[in-house]
């Protein structure tokens, strides 16, 4: 997975045959600038009465009336179910679809979901698609331009690149702007139901690849949470960094939507897509929601979302997600259970977590191990603070590459990718009472550069599930990092046969560990 614009630059400059292009672009800066912004079509989320009048609104009206002021929450942990729920949510919509993502791949799952959006538009649904331009491949430009030309679809690109191929040129001419990205992820139908969380749109997020497979978490939410997300989408949709696609992309080709149709048909006959096509035939959580058989956790919820002006470096500190979380959650009194795939606490975060532990709060963190990480520089940012965290009383667990199976040989991820299983969920529970689910990583990029989105859910039941996982499941799925009497790091792994100890990072090569050390001494922590 691509983690940051810094990594994009590194990959670009190593590509054979393109080393002269940055210089050429630097000499012709005018070709690398965005066009003057034109007029924008005004549109907003449905009003309450309009949303309630939709078939989706009518189907859940009774449940909402029985739980006034509360949101209905359904966790989506299984990848196939999370994919099928999205497709069914699109198919259920009758009036509006508001779709906001950081990454959208031009692959099996990305193609099927784009086709579902086009079909929704064909039946009269207004589709607003807002994508971060760093997270979409250039190969999707023609398809997105064609979708944008559909009378019921409008596509906007957040913080776009003027040069489309290769986009990396833009980082060399406009780094301060393009280094800030929209990391939000949500899909909302008719203003009544939304899916949000950690998953982007791509095969690796739904288990449809032989490469990296992300362990992730979303929630399906109805009630006030869905309405809040719909109105927050309006805020991003009308923000200055959200550019109409037709001002950025090449002119649409009339036959391109036919190409999308053929690609979707080809996917449906592809043997590798069999599990996904089968999942669409099953009764999804969205269908259970419609027929009243979906068990929901009803709870007060609060939406936390960065001001989109953060992408321009102009947001007030109190408008940022971390500030909102502090105001809503307060200080943990008993325990903090945190799941973050990209955990780079930095000096301030390390002091915060160790101070909590010093005050008697149980602090447990689950992140990726070196063998499971998909980005070495991020692991280096975590490893740099690991000893200080352990010395301060924080408990650290590192997810194994293939949880529940034995790794038989050393495996070395590259700086920009790896194969196997990797944690991607972003969630935490406080005092067994409150849960956060969303896009936020505990790293400097999420705190200071990227925009983020999530829900704080007042639910002892959901918080209890995370607490129980840390006590019973995590030790079986992860290594635990520890310090011995001399202050040296070691790792333990619990198995049916007992405890295995590792004195170096498990299942890693010396060259990989050397690379981690090298990244840890570079002044790049603020980028991670």
- Residue ranges of the domains in the chain? 5-26+71-291, 300-527
**Cis bond before residue 166 (omega within 30° of 0):** yes
Residue 31: its pLDDT value, please?
59
Q: Are 246 and 145 in contact (CB under 8 A)?
A: yes
Q: Are 265 and 195 in contact (CB under 8 A)?
A: no
**pLDDT of 471 over the 90 cut:** no
Count of Cβ atoms closer than 10 Å to residue 355 Cβ: 14
For the domain spanning 300-527, the CATH number is 3.30.870.10
Residue 404: its pLDDT value, please?
40
CA–CA distance, 230 with 187 (Å, rounded to integer): 9
Per residue in 93-114, pLDDT (tens digit) is: 999 999 999 999 999 999 999 9
Same fold, 5-26+71-291 and 300-527: yes
Residue 186: its pLDDT value, please?
98
Which range is least confidently modeled, 2-6, 130-134, 285-289? 2-6
Please name the residues in contact with 455: beta carbons below 8 A apart, sequence gap of 6 or more. 71, 73, 196, 219, 221, 225, 301, 302, 303, 304, 436, 437, 438
Please name the residues in contact with 360: beta carbons below 8 A apart, sequence gap of 6 or more. none
Q: Are 132 and 8 in contact (CB under 8 A)?
A: no
Q: Bigger pLDDT: 505 or 419?
A: 505
Per residue in 203-242, pLDDT (tens digit) is: 988 876 655 556 788 999 999 999 999 999 999 999 999 9
CA–CA distance, 409 with 9 (Å, rounded to integer): 32
Residue 3: its pLDDT value, please?
55
Q: Are 223 and 72 in contact (CB under 8 A)?
A: yes
**pLDDT of 396 over the 60 cut:** yes
Per residue in 289-304, pLDDT (tens digit) is: 999 999 999 999 999 9
Q: Are 491 and 501 in contact (CB under 8 A)?
A: yes
Is residue 354 classed as helix, strand or coil in its secondary structure?
A: helix
Give me the sheet containing 71-76, strands edge to edge. 242-244, 153-158, 126-132, 96-101, 186-189, 193-197, 218-222, 71-76, 297-299
CATH for 5-26+71-291, options being 3.30.870.10, 3.30.750.24, 3.40.50.2000, 3.40.50.720: 3.30.870.10
Residue 423: its pLDDT value, please?
83
Which range is least confidently modeled, 305-309, 402-406, 429-433, 446-450? 402-406
Catalytic residues: 183, 185, 190, 424, 426, 431
Residue 5: its pLDDT value, please?
52
Residue 275: its pLDDT value, please?
83
The DSSP element (H or E) to which 351 belongs, if any, is helix 346-358
The DSSP element (H or E) to which 520 belongs, if any, is helix 510-521
Q: What is the pTM of this model?
A: 0.90
């Amino acid at each position: 997975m691509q983690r940051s614009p810094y990594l994009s630059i590194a990959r670009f400059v190593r590509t054979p045959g393109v080393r002269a292009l940055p210089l050429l672009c630097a000499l012709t800066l005018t070709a690398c600038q965005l066009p003057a912004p034109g007029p924008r079509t005004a549109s907003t989320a449905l009003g309450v009465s309009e949303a309630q009048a939709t078939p989706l609104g009518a189907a859940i009206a009774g449940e909402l009336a029985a739980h006034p002021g509360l949101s209905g929450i359904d966790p989506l942990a299984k990848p196939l179910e999370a994919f099928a729920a999205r497709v069914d949510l699109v198919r259920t919509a009758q009036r509006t679809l508001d779709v906001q993502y950081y990454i959208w791949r031009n692959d099996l799952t990305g193609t099927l979901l784009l086709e579902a959006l086009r079909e929704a538009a064909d039946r009269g649904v207004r589709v607003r698609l807002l994508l971060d331009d760093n997270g979409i491949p250039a190969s999707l430009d023609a398809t997105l331009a064609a979708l944008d030309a559909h009378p019921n679809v409008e596509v906007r690109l957040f913080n776009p690149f003027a040069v489309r191929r290769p986009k990396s040129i833009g980082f060399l001419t406009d780094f301060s702007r393009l280094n800030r990205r929209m990391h939000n992820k949500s899909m909302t139908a008719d203003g009544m139901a939304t899916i949000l969380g950690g998953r982007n749109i791509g095969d690796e997020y739904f288990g449809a690849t032989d490469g990296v497979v992300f362990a992730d978490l979303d929630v399906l939410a109805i009630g006030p949470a869905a309405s809040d997300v719909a109105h927050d989408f309006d805020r991003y949709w009308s923000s200055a960094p959200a550019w109409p696609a037709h001002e950025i992309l090449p002119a649409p080709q009339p036959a391109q939507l036919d190409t999308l149709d053929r690609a979707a048909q080809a996917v449906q006959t592809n043997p590798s897509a069999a599990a996904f096509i089968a999942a669409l035939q099953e009764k999804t959580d969205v269908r259970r929601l419609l027929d009243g058989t979906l068990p929901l956790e009803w709870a007060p919820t609060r939406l936390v979302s960065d001001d989109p002006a953060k992408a321009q470096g102009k947001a007030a500190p109190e408008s940022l997600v971390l500030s909102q979380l502090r105001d809503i959650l307060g200080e943990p009194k008993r325990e903090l259970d945190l799941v973050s795939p990209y955990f780079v606490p930095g000096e301030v975060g390390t002091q915060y977590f160790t101070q909590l532990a010093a005050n008697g709060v149980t602090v447990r963190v689950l992140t990726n191990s070196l063998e499971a990480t998909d980005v070495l520089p991020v692991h280096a940012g975590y490893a740099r603070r690991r000893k200080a965290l352990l010395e301060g009383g924080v408990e650290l667990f590192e997810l194994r590459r293939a949880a529940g199976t034995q790794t038989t040989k050393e495996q070395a991820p590259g700086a920009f990718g790896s194969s196997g299983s990797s944690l991607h969920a972003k969630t935490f529970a406080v005092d067994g009472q409150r849960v956060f689910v969303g896009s936020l990583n505990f790293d400097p990029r999420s705190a200071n550069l990227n925009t983020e989105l999530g829900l704080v859910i007042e639910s002892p039941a959901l918080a209890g599930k995370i607490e129980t996982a840390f006590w019973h499941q995590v030790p079986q799925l992860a290594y635990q990092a520890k310090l011995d009497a001399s202050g040296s790091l070691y790792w333990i792994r619990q198995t049916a046969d007992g405890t295995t100890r590792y004195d170096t990072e498990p299942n890693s090569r010396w060259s990989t560990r050397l690379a981690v050390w090298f990244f840890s001494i570079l002044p790049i922590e603020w980028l991670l």
